Amino acid sequence: MPQETGPSRAERAARTRQALIDAALRLFAERGYDATTTEEIAEAAGVSPRTFFRYFPTKESVLLRGESDFVRSFTGVYLAQPETMTELEAMRASFVILAPGLHRLRGEVKLYRKAVASSLTLRGRESANHAENAEALAEAIARRRGAAVPDAGCDLLAALGLTVLDHALTRWLRGPAHIPFGQVIDGSFAVLQDLARPSS
């Protein structure tokens, strides 16, 4: 009979990493980011401080790990949309396609936002991340247009898209958990398009 084996080294490492993430988010949300230490995070996760630093160089890196993955994934999806779509339609479709990945992290996203709200330092970092995300979107829009660099129109559309996305995210987190994030994104873009239509 084959011998039963326990979790692999990679599986144990993944569990430890996730335990640190869960503990950090919970403590940041409960106590505030600035009042939480790496030692407290390690203790809550059931590991030593030394183990914490094997996975994350700072407590900020726990919070902001992959924070922009959603937007970084945007370029490939956006450029794959049919040319018959307008830029706004392509952006709307791309965000909806990417939404399920974020939907699975709803609990983490709620704790993340609460942690950011607790710290002036993190709010500044969040603002810088937002600017980087807007730049990435503008570059994707420029590529779809066949332009070498984004112009003012690309910058404006990118800023508009992120504003709608943030509006949808806020509504989604405040609403029932069973409603798909993609559905809320789609609804927010629909509201934008209604506002843009001339009144009869």
What's the CATH number where 160 sits? 1.10.357.10
Is residue 13 domain-shared with residue 109, that is, in the same domain? Answer: no
Contact call for residues 169 and 109 (beta carbons, < 8 A): yes
Q: How many CB atoms lie within 10 A of CB 84?
A: 7
**Residues 103, 43: one domain?**
no
In which domain, by residue range, is 28 found?
9-63
Residues 133, 154, single domain; the answer is yes
Q: Is 78 helix (H, G, I), strand (E, B) or coil?
A: helix
Same domain, 85 and 150: yes
CA dist., res. 114 & res. 95, Å (int): 23
User: Using CA atoms, how far apart are residues 25 and 29, in angstroms rounded to an integer?
Assistant: 6
36 exposure class (CB count in 10 Å sphere: 0-12, 13-18, 19+):
buried
Residues of the chain with pLDDT > 90, as a percent, come to: 56
For the full predicted model, state whether its pTM sits above 0.75. Answer: yes
Q: Over the stretch 170-184, which tens digit does the pLDDT of each residue have?
A: 999 999 989 999 999
**Whether residue 160 has pLDDT greater than 50:** yes
Do 39 and 118 lie in a common domain?
Answer: no
pLDDT digits (tens, 9 = 90+) for 90-129: 999 999 999 998 888 888 888 888 888 888 888 888 888 8
Domain count of the chain? 2
Same domain, residue pair 49 and 91: no
